[in-house]
Chain A
Amino acid sequence: KQEVTQIPAALSVPEGENLVLNCSFTDSAIYNLQWFRQDPGKGLTSLLLIQSSQREQTSGRLNASLDKSSGRSTLYIAASQPGDSATYLCAVEYGNKLVFGAGTILRVKS
């Protein structure tokens, strides 16, 4: 069964702190892995996409890594800001579909 797990479920940090969100998946036969951001009552915004042959991707203060063999990905956020407060979703693509984790709710306090 293809399952995606995210840890922690919620995280509250002071502004300026560096933080790491974790994602693990049970089936390593992935096409790619994506990290999304979802604001309350809103849609999804794609942050980073890592193809199965890649090990990491970077965009601004965000860095995502992928270790297919161990079934893990991390999203690193540097110098967090209150505007980073949102739910972060990890999604693994298997063929025709994305399998999502339950998300990490991040709150950055000013």
Chain B
Amino acid sequence: NAGVMQNPRHLVRRRGQEARLRCSPMKGHSHVYWYRQLPEEGLKFMVYLQKENIIDESGMPKERFSAEFPKEGPSILRIQQVVRGDSAAYFCASSAVQGATDTQYFGPGTRLTVL
């Protein structure tokens, strides 16, 4: 059973470009979470999605950031018009159920560098 897959592992963008980060959850998992780890900081929750629904986006910046988890295919975190402050490691996690009984399994992360 493959783990959580994220691609690309490393992404370099120039200021003003768009970044698209992909996450394929573990087989059988329908809950996806995105976290961001800024340099020298801890991981911060961004968004929680189920298939075709955004459940909690309380950690998402108000502008330029969006996330989706379509019926078919991976979850996508999209950052428009990237700025240097967006440089960070972005981690995706998935779980089979939401709540106390199941852990979140993390992917290897995508490291975004904005030049």
Contact = CB atoms under 8 A, between A and B. Distances in A.
Contacts of A49: 103
A103 B40 CA distance: 10
Interface stretch (B12-20, B62-70, B72-80, B94-102): B94-102
Contacts of B58: 97
Looking at chain A's contact residues, the main secondary structure is strand
Interface stretch (A12-20, A40-48, A59-67, A70-78): A40-48
A110 interface: no
Contacts of B115: none
A46 B48 contact: no
Interface residues of B, number: 26
B103 A31 contact: no
A93 B106 CA distance: 14
Contact of A101 (B35, B42, B59, B100): B42
Interface in B13-47: 33, 35, 41-45
A36 B104 CA distance: 11
Contacts of A41: 111
B52 interface: no
A92 to B, nearest CB: 11
B98 A46 contact: no
Interface-centre pick from B48, B55, B59, B106 (highest chain A CB count, 10 A): B106
Interface of A: 31-32, 34, 36, 41-46, 49, 51-52, 89, 91, 93, 95-103
Q: Which 4 A-B pairs have the closest CB atoms?
A: A97-B45, A43-B108, A44-B106, A31-B100
10 contacts: A32-B100, A34-B104, A41-B111, A43-B107, A43-B109, A46-B104, A52-B100, A97-B48, A100-B44, A101-B42
